[in-house]
Amino acid sequence: MEFAKKIVETTEEIFSTMIFMDIASEPPFEEGKQVLGCHVSAMIGLTGSFSGMLGIHCPENVGLAISGAMLDMEIDEINADVKDALGEIANMAAGGIKERFAAENIDLELAIPTAISGKSYTISSPTKSNRLIIPFRVEQGRFFIEMKYNLN
Amino acid sequence: MGKTVLIVDDSNTMRKIVSRSLRQAGIDFDQILEAADGQEALDVLGANKVDVVLSDINMPNMTGLEFLKAKAEDDAIKDIPVVMISTETGADIIDEAKSYGAKGAIKKPFTPDLINETLGPLL
């Protein structure tokens, strides 16, 4: 299904057209528990030909830089604007992936994005889920786009 | 008299980005109004003279499609042009939006040029 290629393409499109930050994808993590060291995450559910979740996870400084660039303003703490901005990135990334799968006659529906923040949190899903995490490097560090999915 | 646009999106971030993109596209509105869902949009249209609406589709409370349906049934506002701005731009959903009167659709993420191409002919 080429999840990684679709995620990289749509993420690069979002950052080049609406955030104006240079990003570089790194090799994906595909197996096992990962400690990402992130402080703010936004996620969106997917249903249809497969079910799953797409999320963006950021350390605090990276989340502030991305949301600040998106809103064209200085942001110095994780607040509602940061969560909202990351929620929109998750929404657009899921939309881009939906569009790419639609070209292969694989239909998906999107939920409404949600966001969380904190010093330490764990995101769990059914143990049978497939999981793919792609790191992206920006000047301030790395953020991660995660896809968890179950083939129906 | 200057023109007024209504931006409808549940994301405050996206409303700001759309507003910025309108400026970058060189489309000069005298007034930019905002609403966070379809019901708020109907309320704004009922209380203001609006020339064009840019609306998301996937919103809580009242979606963009529900907003279009309700607007089409109100003679006072049914002729105000609406352009959808959404991640949801599959042919089926856009056809449905157009059947309720939407004049076009812009896929997120978008560029100011795309906003200009789609919105320009409606103004």
> Taking an 8 Å Cβ-Cβ cutoff, which residues of chain B contact chain A?
10-14, 16-17, 20, 58-60, 86-90, 107-111
Long-range contacts made by residues A12-16, C-beta under 8 angstroms, separation at least 24? Answer: A13/A96, A13/B109, A14/A89, A14/A92, A14/A93, A14/A96, A14/B109
Percent of chain A with pLDDT strictly greater than 90: 70
Q: What is the CATH number of the domain that holds A144?
A: 3.40.1550.10
| Tens-place pLDDT, residues B11-50 | 999 999 999 999 999 998 999 999 999 999 999 999 999 9
Q: Which domain holds residue B51?
A: 4-122
- With CA atoms as reference, the chain A residue closest to B14 would be A88
Among A46, A80, A47, A41, which residue's Cα sits nearest to residue A62? A41
| Tens-place pLDDT, residues B50-71 | 999 999 998 999 999 999 999 9
Which of A6, A9, A17 to probe the B interface (max B CBs under 10 A)? Answer: A17
Instruction: Using an 8 Å CB-CB cutoff, list chain A residues near B108.
Output: 18, 88, 91-92, 95
Q: What is the CATH number of the domain that holds B101?
A: 3.40.50.2300
Q: Which domain holds residue A7?
A: 3-151
Q: Whole-number mean pLDDT of chain A?
A: 91
C-alpha distance from residue B87 to each of A14, A112, A150, B35 (Å): 11, 11, 22, 18
B53 vs B72: CA distance, rounded Å: 13
Question: In this structure, how many other beta carbons lie within 10 angstroms of the beta carbon of residue B96?
Answer: 15
Q: pLDDT band for position A42 (50/70/90)?
A: very high
Of A71, A72, A95, the CB nearest to B108: A95
Q: Which residues contact B107 (CB under 8 A, 6 or more apart)?
A: A95, A99, B86, B87, B89
pLDDT at A1: 63
What domain count does chain B have? 1
Percent of chain B with pLDDT strictly greater than 70: 99
What domain count does chain A have? 1
